[in-house]
């Protein structure tokens, strides 16, 4: 199999390169304002989040369960395993008259080093009507596995697009 040459973008002032993020990933508290809209309804508006930063991935924001509008989350089938964070469960997200099935995940008992994720939920921005970080509309990370939030703050290229699985 031929490896694709990766051309890393050079970060400008105030930007971060996802290629400078660590592996294993780092959990970093953030006070950025996160707003999520689904079905025309704001289901989250918080300045309490944790960013997970992992090599080649845009940040994933984990938000407190209590930051979600009551009734916005319900259990969904399925589990997955992250070699770093542990066993994840899934949730469906509800807003207005819309439901995004299995569009969020959480770690009920995070692995050592990721305890800060307990009681927090991450969502796939691609499944929401809109996600913003400090007022900037988020672009979703490509692929159906990753849930990264792309803003002007980060440069790539980002894992997830066709041909990037082996990065």
Predicted local distance difference test score (pLDDT) of residue 143: 85
For residue range 75-127, what is the model confidence (pLDDT) as tens digits?
999 999 999 999 999 999 999 999 999 999 999 999 999 999 999 999 999 99
Average pLDDT, stretch 44-58? 97
Residue 3 has pLDDT above 70, yes or no: no
- 31-155 in CATH: which number? 2.170.150.40
49 vs 56: CA distance, rounded Å: 21
**CA distance linking residue 47 with residue 63, whole number of Å:** 9
* Structure-model confidence comparison of residues 6 and 43, the more confident one: 43
d(CA 129, CA 150): 15
**Mean pLDDT for the chain?**
95
Sequence-distant (6+) residues with CB within 8 A of 91 are: 73, 74, 75, 76, 102, 103, 104, 105, 106, 121
Percent of the chain past pLDDT 90, that is, above it, reads 89
User: pLDDT band for position 1 (50/70/90)?
Assistant: very low
- Average pLDDT over every residue of 129-152: 94
Rounded CA gap, 156 and 61, in Å? 17
- Rounded to whole angstroms, the Cα distance separating 159 from 167 reads 7
**How confident is the model at residue 38, as a pLDDT?**
98
Instruction: Quote the pTM value.
Output: 0.95
Residue 33 burial (10 A CB sphere; 0-12, 13-18, 19+): middle
């Amino acid at each position: 199999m031929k490896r694709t040459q990766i051309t890393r973008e050079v970060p400008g002032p105030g930007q971060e390169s996802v290629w400078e993020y660590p592996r294993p990933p780092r959990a970093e508290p953030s006070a950025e304002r996160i707003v999520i809209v689904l079905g025309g309804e704001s289901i989250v508006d918080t300045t309490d989040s944790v960013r997970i930063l992992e090599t080649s991935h845009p940040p994933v924001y984990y938000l407190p369960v209590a930051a979600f509008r009551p009734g916005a989350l319900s259990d969904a089938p399925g589990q997955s395993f992250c070699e770093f964070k542990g066993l994840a469960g899934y949730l469906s997200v509800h807003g207005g008259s819309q439901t995004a099935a299995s569009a969020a995940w959480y770690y009920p008992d995070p692995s050592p080093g990721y305890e800060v994720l307990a009681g927090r939920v991450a969502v796939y921005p691609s499944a929401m009507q809109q996600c913003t970080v400090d007022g900037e509309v988020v672009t979703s990370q490509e692929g159906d596995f990753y849930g990264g939030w792309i803003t002007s703050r980060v440069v790539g290229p980002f894992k997830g697009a066709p041909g990037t699985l082996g990065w």
